[in-house]
Every structure is written in C-alpha cells, then in structure tokens.
C-alpha cells in the first residue's frame, strides 16, 4: 500500500493466484463473504458493481494482472462492491456474463490502451475509468501522438518512421547516433533499443517489427528522466527516475531494485513548473480524460522533451502515478476511488 492508510475493517485473507513478471504472487481475494460484498461501506452504493478489468492479450498481461489485483484489493478495502475480471480478447463476452455498473480498466498495452476495450464498454453503455476511445487510440500511436504534440507546440525529440516493407537505414543519418528505436504502438518500453552505431541498427529495427508494421527512430536525448502524473486533469508532483543505465526500460521499470524515484524531482523551480505545464498540456492535447502519466526527458541544458502519454498507467507497488498521488497525501485506496469518481 502506498501513502498513509485510513483506518477501517481488516481485509480478508488473500488467495495467491499466478505470478507477476518478477515472480511475486498475484494477490486476489476470491469468494468474498456476501455480507462484505453488499456492505454499504464509506461510499454507499453510488458506484454499484465495479468490474476491475485486467490481463488482456498484450505483452503487458503480467503487469496488468498485478495492477488489477492491487486496484481490486483497494476497492474491497474501501467497502465497495468489486469483482476481478480476467480478460483475454473476449471483453464483450466478459461484459455480457457479468452485470457490472462501471468498469475500472487496468488493462495495459494493446486492447486495453488502444481504444478497443473502451469502444466495447461504450457499445454496452457501461461507464469506465480513464480516457475515451479516440484519445486512447491517439496516445497509443507514438507517431500520431507526436504529430498532436507538435501541433500544440509541445517539444518532442526529432524522429523518423520506418515501414516494415520499405526502409533505408541510411535515413537514420538525418537524426544521428545514438538514437532510440521503438515500436509504433507498444507500452512498458517493450521492444525499445538504444542504438549507438549504425551497424547495430537493422537488428534493433527488426526487433520492433515483431510488434507491428512500423518502427519509430527517435533522437536520443541525454539527460534526466521525468514523469508527470495527471489526476482530475491536473498535474501531480513531478518525479525524477534514476536508473543504473540511464534508460527507463522494462527491466528498470519492473525488475531492477536499484531504480530510484525522487518525489518531488530535485530540479530548479522554473523547470519544475514547466514540466507540470507540459504534462497538463500533453494530456489535454490528446483529449485525455481524468488521469494519465506523461513521460518526458530534460536535456543537459534544462530543455524538456515530451516522449509519450500513458492513458492506463501502472497501478503496482513500483508504479509512478500512485507515488505522485502519495506525495499530495492520497493513499492508494483514495487514489482508486478518485479515479472511479471521474468515471461517473
């Protein structure tokens, strides 16, 4: 649990189901006593039956299950009527089989963040947490989102796009080395490589084509990794991420215990303010709703470049949005309830 806990009834014991990418068990409470499920709790019945959607068919399934388990347990601890729904690519069947009043989406990556689940929920007339269909699609597409940032005068690193069937590695010279190679649509830094010499470029590009038809080559900006959480469409305290290899990749995010998170980020006042402004502006430029997380990098001269917006940020013990919320006094359970409130 992150942040200060409010006192309340002791939660029921956990049954561990499966394991996350780091080998830790996924704690999910099953078979809640009927009296607990129907409890009015601190929030009454205003949310109705909440379905926590987790899993999905993407490469981030394991992280999604961990996020979903954390959210589910938090909602139960608040006395809310919640059920944990494991999803593959069968969301419409899951919706039909479980009569829910609102969906808390904890699906990361494809299917959960690309507008697919959001569209299915809208078709079923079920309110849900987070951004809508179009904003989700836009944010998940790294090329389309960069175009939106540029249109709104939001600084981004230089980039070019390679098509799977047609590309010339010499085009990379327009950016120069080192550079970052990533899939057009993938989360958690999956498929990301930093290429220092041209001779390694084709291998990195081929790696991204395992995840889609387009590859994004981006200027490597040396500097400090920052992230800005958004809640109620307003920026939270800025976080600096310090990694051993200066790259916030999948390992640094979920496996490396040496990764440090500095809240608030120890940067000068004006730069801090600018990071918050760019976070809010990026969120609104894509049409995002309620909450998100905006990743950025500050170069060695103090200039900030926005990298991407995550519309379903992680909700695990290592996740950044809960850390930012804790910095303003919101514990994890309160954060989950606030996110729900914005869905109604």
Which residues are designated catalytic? 60, 188, 254, 293, 295, 308, 310, 314
Are residues 290 and 129 in contact, defined by beta-carbon separation less than 8 angstroms?
yes
Helix axes 61-77, 332-341, angle to 10 degrees: 90
Angle at 146 between CA 188 and CA 308, to 5 degrees: 25
Alpha-carbon gap, residue 340 to 313, rounded angstroms:
15
Rg (CA), the chain: 20
Query: For residue 161, what are the β-bridge partners?
Result: 216
> Is residue 268 packed enough to be buried (19+ CB in 10 Å), middle (13-18) or exposed (0-12)?
exposed
Token digits of residue 233: 């469409």
Angle, helices 142-151/133-140, rounded to nearest 10 degrees: 100
* Ramachandran sector of residue 79 (left: φ over 0; alpha: ψ -120 to 50; beta: rest): left
Sheet holding 179-183, edge to edge: 159-163, 214-219, 179-183, 193-195
Q: Which residue has the tokens 């990418």?
A: 21
Round to whole Å and give the CA distance between 182 and 216: 5
């Amino acid at each position: 649990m992150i942040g200060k806990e409010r006192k309340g009834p002791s939660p029921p014991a956990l049954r561990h189901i499966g394991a996350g990418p780091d080998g830790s068990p996924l704690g999910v409470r099953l078979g809640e006593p009927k009296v607990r499920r129907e409890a009015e709790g601190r929030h009454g019945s205003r949310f109705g039956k909440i379905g926590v959607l987790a899993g999905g068919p993407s490469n981030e399934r394991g992280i999604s299950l961990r996020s979903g388990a954390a959210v589910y347990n938090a909602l139960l601890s608040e006395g809310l009527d919640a059920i944990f729904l494991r999803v593959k690519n069968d969301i419409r069947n899951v919706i039909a089989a479980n009569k829910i009043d609102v969906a808390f989406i904890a699906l990361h990556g494809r299917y959960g963040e690309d507008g697919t689940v959001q569209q299915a929920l809208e078709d079923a007339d079920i309110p849900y947490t987070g951004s809508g269909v179009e904003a989700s699609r836009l944010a998940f597409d790294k090329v389309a989102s960069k175009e939106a940032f540029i249109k709104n005068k939001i600084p981004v690193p230089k980039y070019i796009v390679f098509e799977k069937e047609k590309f010339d590695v010499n085009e990379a010279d327009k950016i120069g080395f080192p550079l970052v190679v990533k899939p057009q649509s993938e989360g958690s830094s999956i498929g990301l490589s930093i290429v220092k010499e041209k001779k390694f470029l084709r291998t990195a590009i081929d790696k991204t084509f395992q995840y889609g038809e387009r590859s994004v080559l981006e200027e490597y900006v040396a500097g400090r990794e920052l992230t800005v959480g958004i809640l109620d469409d307003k920026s939270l305290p800025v976080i600096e991420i310090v990694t051993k290899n200066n790259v916030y990749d999948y390992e640094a995010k979920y496996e490396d215990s040496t990764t440090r998170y500095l809240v608030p980020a120890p940067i000068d006042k004006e730069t801090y303010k600018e990071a918050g402004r760019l976070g809010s502006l990026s969120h609104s430029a894509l049409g995002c709703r309620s909450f998100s997380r905006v990743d950025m990098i500050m170069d060695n001269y103090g200039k900030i470049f926005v990298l991407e917006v995550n519309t379903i940020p992680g909700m695990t013990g290592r996740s950044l949005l809960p850390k930012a919320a804790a910095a303003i006094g919101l514990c994890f359970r309160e954060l989950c309830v606030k996110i729900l409130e914005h869905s109604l």
